[in-house]
């Protein structure tokens, strides 16, 4: 696509020739063991969105976060940070025409909520929660987007808008295995 957009990482026209797609932030150090673990979980059931990220809550009330993440397996934890592996067909689902307003919103807001938008669309489409895979990674973020003073407030507002636009709240995260 010719537009500079965070949505582009989910573009179904990208030259991806595998069924599995992994999306991670560029400030993470991910071991081969972690990739093997996430891929193994995905291979057993590619119908879900997998992550080894920290837990968050995204509801009509907004975005909840605690340093170190919310407890996985808690009914209130329904979103995991974008360390995801998923089937490439979900990229086409995200780019369906009825999701255009959502993608346009993601492009206009400052919270960089493409991850919340994508996970919300996929979980609504599949009617299945994100699945957490306990796998090691090292977060090297020091001065990135997550450290902006108003980051939580921006994502709070973004989460409320995404839930309203989709008329959908993601179900609680399920715990998976490697």
Query: What per-residue confidence (pLDDT) applies to 14?
Result: 95
At 108-122, the pLDDT tens digits run 988 889 999 999 999
Query: What per-residue confidence (pLDDT) applies to 25?
Result: 77
Alpha-carbon distances, residue 59 vs 109, 110, 120, 141, 165 (angstroms): 18, 19, 10, 26, 12
End-to-end CA distance of the chain: give it in Å, rounded: 35
**CB contact at 8 A, 125 and 117:** no
At 126-172, the pLDDT tens digits run 999 999 888 766 655 555 555 567 878 898 899 999 999 999 999 98
At 20-31, the pLDDT tens digits run 999 987 777 778
**CB contact at 8 A, 47 and 149:** no
H or E element at residue 133: strand 131-133
Query: What per-residue confidence (pLDDT) applies to 46?
Result: 97
**Could you tell me where the DSSP H helices lie in the chain?**
32-44, 89-94, 100-108, 114-126, 151-166
The token pair that represents 52 in the structure block: 């080894």
**CB contact at 8 A, 105 and 6:** no
pTM of this structure: 0.89
At 54-110, the pLDDT tens digits run 788 888 888 887 777 777 877 778 888 778 999 999 999 999 999 999 999 999 988
């Amino acid at each position: 696509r010719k537009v500079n957009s965070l949505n582009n990482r989910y573009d179904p026209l990208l030259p991806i020739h595998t069924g599995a797609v992994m999306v991670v932030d560029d400030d993470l150090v991910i071991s081969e063991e972690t990739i093997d673990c996430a891929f193994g979980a995905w291979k057993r059931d590619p119908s879900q969105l997998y992550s080894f990220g920290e837990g968050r809550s995204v509801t009509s009330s907004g975005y909840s976060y605690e340093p170190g993440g919310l407890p996985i397996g808690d009914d209130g934890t329904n979103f995991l940070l974008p360390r995801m592996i998923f089937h490439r067909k979900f990229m086409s689902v995200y780019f369906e025409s009825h999701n255009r307003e959502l993608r346009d919103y993601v492009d206009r807001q400052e919270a960089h909520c493409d991850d919340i938008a994508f996970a919300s669309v996929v979980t609504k489409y599949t009617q299945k929660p994100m699945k957490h895979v306990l796998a090691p990674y090292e977060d090297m973020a020091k001065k990135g987007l997550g450290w902006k003073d108003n980051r939580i407030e921006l994502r709070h507002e973004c989460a409320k808008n995404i839930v309203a636009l989709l008329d959908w709240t993601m179900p609680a995260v399920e715990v998976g295995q490697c």
